[in-house]
Amino acid sequence: MNIFNQTNFANLSLKNRLWRSATWLGMADNQGYVTDRVKEEYRKLSKGGVGNIIVEFTNILEEEKTYPGILSLATDKHILGMSELAKIIHENNTNAFVQIGYGGSTTSMPIEGREILGPSAVPNISTGIVPKEMNEADIKKIVNGMAEAALRAKNANFDGVEIHAAHGYLFSQFLSPYFNQRTDNYGGSITNRGRIILESLDAMRKKVGSQYPILIKMHCDDQWGDKGLSVEDSIKLAKELEKRGITAIEFSGGNIDNQTGNSPLKPKLHKIEDQSYFKDEVRKIAEELSVPVILVGGNRNVELMNHILNNSKIQYFALSRTLLSEPDLPNKWMENPEKKPRCVSCNNCWAEGGNNCIIDRKKRA
């Protein structure tokens, strides 16, 4: 087996095992509508050879503003632009998915005039924001918002949706013992901490049906001691998601506490032993599951990915920073599997007005 094999995934044919992991571009307008810049970036990705594209973290509620230039599926008015985006992705035999979720206290936007929801009223390690502890009505609002956004994605002709339960956003916070200090049915055990995610999956299934692909991005390990989600808890939650009809799971990891040095975006990946850096934890989890598992985080070497593919139950590989730098990297790898990515994992992708490789920004300056 190799990463360029064609495979079947749910009701879809995948031209290879490579996924573009959902990556915020910051190029939508201030109401979350698709712009020409957004279309052009995804057109380049689609032409670049990656088999499957997960469109960036997309808002589910109109009042939610996680980041500048973030896309939205909060209203039916957003469907037209998103359907145009799905069509562009499909033009190159590439499958189109979209990631949906709620940011909460992990946000870079002004919070004045906004109600920021969280599992508990504890300060966000990264932003300092203290959210409102969610009541049952708030939880239902999020669950319903996820279901409605999933239906809009389906109506916009996306091939599937992905639940964002990673990287310190709301669902990830519910899974973390630091952020989630509740004593009701949504706190305590991993079953309770994952309840809002399971309820969202159930509600989404009622809207989109049993066959429509629903993925989830979650952590294999928060790497945060007793403050975070452990591998053991990840296995328990993943098994429950499998029972409820999840189609596949993309595993990331790390935490948003700058003091730990365990960010999901790890730098200095020149040595092959530092790459695909969640592989050991995800290999362990994949052994316990029957649904397809996607590994994200530092996938930069074709030989290493093929080794993981042939020596574990991990079936797919997702790329983020490397595709921000080189949208056509998969095509280049098909011509020369030994090619090293231009990306050096410097984490300077993020910039006001739109996120892309710092090399390209310097060229335009």
**Residues designated as active site:** 169
CA distance 249 to 54: 13
Please count the other Cβ atoms lying within 10 Å of the Cβ belonging to residue 3: 22
Angle at 34 between CA 174 and CA 160, to 5 degrees: 55
CA distance 24 to 67: 9
CA distance 238 to 286: 9
Pairing mode, if any, of strands 160-165 and 117-118?
A: unpaired
Structure tokens at 170: 């709301």
Task: Using DSSP, state whether 18 is helix, strand or coil.
Answer: strand
Structure tokens at 110: 């002004």
Residue 328 CA, chain-centre distance (Å), reads 20
Please count the other Cβ atoms lying within 10 Å of the Cβ belonging to residue 177: 19
Task: Using DSSP, state whether 88 is helix, strand or coil.
Answer: helix
CA distance 320 to 253: 14
Q: Which of 94, 89, 119 is nearest to 104 (CA)?
A: 119
Q: Facing residues of 165 across strands?
A: 218
Please count the other Cβ atoms lying within 10 Å of the Cβ belonging to residue 74: 21
CA distance 100 to 74: 10
Cα-atom radius of gyration of the chain, to the nearest Å? Answer: 19
